[in-house]
A and B are shown apart, each in its own frame.
Chain A
Amino acid sequence: MQPFRTALLAAGALALSACGSAAGVKSASGSAAPGDAQAPYPSTYTPYPGMPTALTGATVYDGKGGAIEGGTVLFAGGELVAVGGPDLAIPEGFTRIDAAGKFVTPGIIDIHSHLGDYPSPAVDAHMDGNEMTDPITPQVWAEHSVWPQDPGFSRAMANGGVTSLQILPGSANLMGGRTVTLKNVPSRTVQGMKFPGAPYGFKMACGENPKRVYGEQGRMPMTRMGNFALNRKTWIEAREYADGDREERDLAMETLAGVLDGEILVHNHCYRADEMAFVLDMAEEAGYRVSAFHHAVESYKIADMLREAGACSAVWADWYGFKMEANDAIPENAALIHNAGACVVIHSDDENGIQRLNQEAAKAQADGLRMGIEIADAEVIRWLTLNPAKAMGIDVMTGSLESGKMADIVLWNGDPLSVYSRPEKVWVDGALLYDALDPQRRPVSDFELGQPGAGDVK
């Protein structure tokens, strides 16, 4: 977004977009029964064909904190076959790609995106991210707002190496609705992008946005105390529903019951430390867990509490000052959270930022180093791969380079923590979907087709 456009929206849609809660429910049904088969709007995604491939000679960051020099990565049939050093045997029939001097990481994962529900072009007709008609809307699902032709998906892949992402409703509402986790694969339908087996998320929002949006309408919540009162009232109702027979269909209560069952993962937009501390108590009172605080610019003040609670902090590297609750944001936030032993995720909340999550992580790493906190490169890569995968409940399937996991892989033409490096190839489930060296492996959305600049390098 252009800065000046952003400014216009600072008190509106853009500021609202900062927040998310993803619920990880395998089932959309009232009983929250697991398994896509019973869920409505099931994923229809199946991996595209790929070739058995061996990447050799690369520096490999495995996503779980490990690094291999001169590493070998083998994948076939959409899955990782083996990851090892130069001595790893390469089976017959594998296409070899010499990756000497290059780097390999798992596919990058953005835990906080509004691609599709606030797509480009950012015209009024596309403002589908905030159901700003009621502060409590657990019944809405972000997937029903996603426009799969958003050109932002292709930029996230080509420039950012993003292979999976969570799309959240905005943060106008205290309870904004269900999130959806997608594979970054061009598709005619959203179902064709839905990450098979990913739990749903549930988006909640603290602070300024809900109280401003509804306070301006003379409605509750007008204050932070109103925010909490309305949340607590809703959780009491949800508990009653969840403890009942769940016979009557109620889309909102079904989502909340899924949260209370632990199958839908809570992603809570929350900037300030004191509010996060209250949310942790509210979660205990209501009987759920916070998977991640998003935009948690003050996590560094309570990193010890977040470690104990097991809640991740999804953060920008160094955004600050755009609103009152971001006034105490500091560039050392990620490093200080990490240093306290709590979980760091670097997120974007932005169609441009998602193209450079690796660079944001590198800046956060450097800011930490300058205050004496040394964090290894391979560990920093975890902030964009396995950590978001865990907070989204997909870490069994992706987020690290391990045998049997999805072959979601980025080959970088240099150190991904350097400004001079770019993704060279990106595989999703073993299918080569981007190749910087091959213009035909560059996705062009329906929207851009036949328009100026279609198929350009971007």
Chain B
Amino acid sequence: MKPLAAFAAAMVALAMTTPAAAQDFAVVHATLAIGDGSDPVQDANVIVQGGKVVAAGKDAAVPQGLPVIDATGKWVSPGLFAALTDLGIYDVDAVWQSNDTSAGEAPFSAALDVAPVVNPEAQNIKVSRAGAVTRASVVPRAGSSIFAGQGAVIDLGADPEPVVTRRAFQYVELGENGARLAGGSRMAAYVSLANALAEARDLAGRGRNDDVLLNRPDAAALIPVVTGEQALYVHVERAADIRSALALRQDFPKLDLVLVGASEGWMAAQDIAAAGVPVIAMALNDLPAGFEQLAASQSNVGRMVDAGVKVAIGRFGDMNQPRYAPQQAGNLVALNRIPGAAGLSWGEAFAAISSIPAEISGLEGQAGVLKPGAAGDVVIWDGDPLELSSAPLRVFIDGVEQPLDSHQTRLKERYRTPEEGELPKAYEW
């Protein structure tokens, strides 16, 4: 066994017994991406102790005796935060037995909670971890109601406890998909939402009356939404739908809104900015895939950012893998060279896949950024993280070095040459 593979195997074995201890270390002489929107810094250091970032920058001093990783010619960055994923909730998407993403035949909707479902051994977690994704939000897909249920924030560490924040947010569909789920029209979606929130308010206040549509668990699950203790993620694409979603706060002033999708967000960017509502958008949507996104453009994110909106790149599901986040961010940097397009600076683009989704997900200053006190989620890359040819060399989560192997890496080694040898391929492992 090669040393690297042996190391990875040892890490797996270790993870199966007890969680590995955080390592104290320094990464030195690296090109540093802090993740806060600033430009990369040459020849900088990152110090991690006790599972946390202690210092990062050109002048970060390396304490005496700390193990040092020389990253000359390499890059170091925070681990990526993938917003709105299906990580850990299926093995094979189209194999229903393995798929927990939605529960369309269940009597519950808003009460659904993805946290106990997340499987840290799922291959999509391992593959994403090898792609520098260290934390993510996981979201159910709406089944039979406009409410998809409650999402969770996870880390992708090779340990038995993936969930960082349980019931981190509620997710609701209010665009074309919401109209379909509500009975055929956006009108019904808005009535459904308003009624559900009112029933939750009643349940929390003067008590539940007999004339209700929601069952008790669903109504109870929406109480923290009405009170603003739990964020409400609203999926809308069309500019008009965005404005209607923002107006929900006229009736329910405490709603902690996050817009999801917002393909036409650039047309309502001033309104979104004025409302102070953050957005999780897909970076490269540029087709009128439906009538609700006729004005989709790759400049959407850049224009919203220019208007002062906090925008994360996200919505990673099935074919749109979390490990594509750097490629998508890089594409937005490339837009800067196209007249009339609005791109992002390198620092802005990297923040859109690290600190900003972490902030929107409730981990401001704690993840997606290499600042003192943040989690020791550190990735050492063989080159510019946004470039297609680059890949992570080493990944740390909470200061613990992670295995980067998976079903895929093992298949790759087995079939390095396709011909069978003295024994069938089944004996090569």
A contact residues vs B (CB 8 Å cutoff): 1-8, 10-11, 15, 120-123, 151-152, 155, 159, 208, 300-305, 318-324, 326-332, 336, 340, 350-352, 355-356, 359, 362-363, 365-366, 369-371, 413, 417-422, 436-437, 439, 447-448, 451-453, 456-458
B323, closest chain A residue (CB):
A318
Please determine whether A419 and B327 come into contact, CB atoms closer than 8 angstroms: yes
User: In the complex, which of the residues A151, A305, A439 contacts B287, with contact meaning CB atoms closer than 8 Å?
Assistant: A151
**A residues in contact with B284, CB < 8 Å:** 352, 355
Chain B 302-330 against A: per-residue CB contact (8 Å), 1 yes, 0 no? 00000000000001111111000001001
Please determine whether B289 and A419 come into contact, CB atoms closer than 8 angstroms: no
**B residues in contact with A300, CB < 8 Å:** 415, 418
**A residues in contact with B387, CB < 8 Å:** 418-420
Residue B377 is within 8 A (CB to CB) of chain A in the complex? no
| Whole-angstrom CA separation of A208 from B93 in the bound complex | 14
Question: Which size bracket describes the interface of B in this complex?
Answer: 35 or more
Chain B 266-302 against A: per-residue CB contact (8 Å), 1 yes, 0 no? 0100000000000000101111111100111111000
Please determine whether A323 and B317 come into contact, CB atoms closer than 8 angstroms: no
Pairs A–B under 8 Å by Cβ, sample size 9: A2-B285, A3-B316, A6-B319, A120-B289, A362-B389, A422-B334, A456-B340, A457-B297, A457-B340
Most buried by B among A327, A328, A340: A327
Please determine whether B296 and A453 come into contact, CB atoms closer than 8 angstroms: yes
| Whole-angstrom CA separation of A5 from B319 in the bound complex | 11
Minimum CB–CB distance for B286 against chain A, Å: 5
Residue B110 is within 8 A (CB to CB) of chain A in the complex? no
**A residues in contact with B291, CB < 8 Å:** 121, 123
Please determine whether A3 and B315 come into contact, CB atoms closer than 8 angstroms: yes
Minimum CB–CB distance for A402 against chain B, Å: 28
**A residues in contact with B415, CB < 8 Å:** 300-301, 336
Please determine whether A155 and B286 come into contact, CB atoms closer than 8 angstroms: yes
Most buried by B among A208, A321, A350: A321
Minimum CB–CB distance for B374 against chain A, Å: 26
- Secondary structure of the B contact surface, majority rule: loop
Please determine whether A336 and B282 come into contact, CB atoms closer than 8 angstroms: no
| Whole-angstrom CA separation of A305 from B418 in the bound complex | 9
Please determine whether A304 and B297 come into contact, CB atoms closer than 8 angstroms: no
Please determine whether A456 and B297 come into contact, CB atoms closer than 8 angstroms: yes
Please determine whether A2 and B297 come into contact, CB atoms closer than 8 angstroms: no
**A residues in contact with B331, CB < 8 Å:** 356, 359, 419
Evaluate whether A330 and B411 lie within 8 angstroms (CB atoms) in the complex, with A3-B320, A336-B418, A458-B298 already known: yes
Please determine whether B319 and A319 come into contact, CB atoms closer than 8 angstroms: yes
Minimum CB–CB distance for B176 against chain A, Å: 9
Please determine whether A3 and B295 come into contact, CB atoms closer than 8 angstroms: no
Minimum CB–CB distance for B302 against chain A, Å: 10
**A residues in contact with B123, CB < 8 Å:** 321
The 9 closest A-B pairs by CB, nearest first: A453-B295, A3-B317, A419-B330, A452-B295, A323-B94, A362-B388, A3-B320, A366-B389, A457-B341
B contact residues vs A (CB 8 Å cutoff): 86, 91-95, 101, 123-124, 127, 141, 177, 239, 261, 264, 267, 282, 284-291, 294-299, 315-321, 327, 330-331, 333-335, 337-341, 386-391, 407-408, 411-412, 415-419
Please give 10 more A-B residue pairs, beta carbons under 8 A apart, in addition to A155-B287, A328-B411: A1-B289, A6-B319, A7-B317, A10-B318, A122-B289, A336-B416, A340-B417, A350-B319, A451-B295, A458-B297
**A residues in contact with B298, CB < 8 Å:** 159, 457-458
**A residues in contact with B418, CB < 8 Å:** 300-305, 336, 340
**A residues in contact with B290, CB < 8 Å:** 121-123
Minimum CB–CB distance for A316 against chain B, Å: 9
**B residues in contact with A420, CB < 8 Å:** 330, 333-334, 337, 387
Minimum CB–CB distance for A339 against chain B, Å: 9
**B residues in contact with A356, CB < 8 Å:** 331
A305, closest chain B residue (CB):
B418
User: In the complex, which of the residues B127, B327, B341, B391 contacts A370, with contact meaning CB atoms closer than 8 Å?
Assistant: B391
Please determine whether B389 and A2 come into contact, CB atoms closer than 8 angstroms: no
B386, closest chain A residue (CB):
A419
Minimum CB–CB distance for A64 against chain B, Å: 23
Minimum CB–CB distance for A422 against chain B, Å: 5
**B residues in contact with A208, CB < 8 Å:** 94
B282, closest chain A residue (CB):
A2
**A residues in contact with B315, CB < 8 Å:** 2-4
Evaluate whether A371 and B289 lie within 8 angstroms (CB atoms) in the complex, with A4-B315, A322-B319, A453-B294 already known: no
**B residues in contact with A452, CB < 8 Å:** 239, 264, 267, 294-295
| Whole-angstrom CA separation of A370 from B404 in the bound complex | 13
Evaluate whether A371 and B334 lie within 8 angstroms (CB atoms) in the complex, with A366-B389, A437-B339 already known: no
| Whole-angstrom CA separation of A365 from B387 in the bound complex | 13
**B residues in contact with A332, CB < 8 Å:** 412
Please determine whether B317 and A321 come into contact, CB atoms closer than 8 angstroms: no
**A residues in contact with B316, CB < 8 Å:** 3
**B residues in contact with A351, CB < 8 Å:** 287, 289
Please determine whether B93 and A458 come into contact, CB atoms closer than 8 angstroms: no
A4, closest chain B residue (CB):
B317
Please determine whether B389 and A304 come into contact, CB atoms closer than 8 angstroms: no
| Whole-angstrom CA separation of A207 from B391 in the bound complex | 33
| Whole-angstrom CA separation of A355 from B298 in the bound complex | 12
| Whole-angstrom CA separation of A357 from B338 in the bound complex | 19
| Whole-angstrom CA separation of A324 from B94 in the bound complex | 7
User: In the complex, which of the residues A321, A326, A329, A362 contacts B124, with contact meaning CB atoms closer than 8 Å?
Assistant: A321
| Whole-angstrom CA separation of A448 from B288 in the bound complex | 8
**B residues in contact with A8, CB < 8 Å:** 141
**A residues in contact with B319, CB < 8 Å:** 1, 3, 6, 319, 322, 350
A326, closest chain B residue (CB):
B92
| Whole-angstrom CA separation of A319 from B417 in the bound complex | 22
Minimum CB–CB distance for A14 against chain B, Å: 8
**B residues in contact with A305, CB < 8 Å:** 418
**A residues in contact with B287, CB < 8 Å:** 120, 151-152, 155, 351-352
Minimum CB–CB distance for A334 against chain B, Å: 12
Evaluate whether A363 and B388 lie within 8 angstroms (CB atoms) in the complex, with A120-B288, A448-B288 already known: yes
User: In the complex, which of the residues B318, B334, B341 contacts A322, with contact meaning CB atoms closer than 8 Å?
Assistant: B318
**A residues in contact with B419, CB < 8 Å:** 304
Please determine whether B338 and A456 come into contact, CB atoms closer than 8 angstroms: no
B264, closest chain A residue (CB):
A452
| Whole-angstrom CA separation of A366 from B419 in the bound complex | 24
| Whole-angstrom CA separation of A356 from B338 in the bound complex | 16
Evaluate whether A322 and B94 lie within 8 angstroms (CB atoms) in the complex, with A7-B101, A422-B334 already known: yes
Please determine whether B333 and A331 come into contact, CB atoms closer than 8 angstroms: no
B391, closest chain A residue (CB):
A370
Minimum CB–CB distance for A6 against chain B, Å: 5
Evaluate whether A417 and B388 lie within 8 angstroms (CB atoms) in the complex, with A301-B415, A320-B408 already known: yes
Please determine whether B337 and A413 come into contact, CB atoms closer than 8 angstroms: yes
Evaluate whether A448 and B294 lie within 8 angstroms (CB atoms) in the complex, with A3-B316, A151-B288 already known: yes
Please determine whether A322 and B92 come into contact, CB atoms closer than 8 angstroms: yes
Minimum CB–CB distance for B366 against chain A, Å: 26
Minimum CB–CB distance for A94 against chain B, Å: 26
Please determine whether B389 and A422 come into contact, CB atoms closer than 8 angstroms: no
**B residues in contact with A4, CB < 8 Å:** 141, 177, 315, 317
**A residues in contact with B297, CB < 8 Å:** 453, 456-458
| Whole-angstrom CA separation of A417 from B127 in the bound complex | 23
**A residues in contact with B338, CB < 8 Å:** 422, 436, 457
| Whole-angstrom CA separation of A456 from B300 in the bound complex | 11
Please determine whether B141 and A436 come into contact, CB atoms closer than 8 angstroms: no
A453, closest chain B residue (CB):
B295
**B residues in contact with A413, CB < 8 Å:** 337
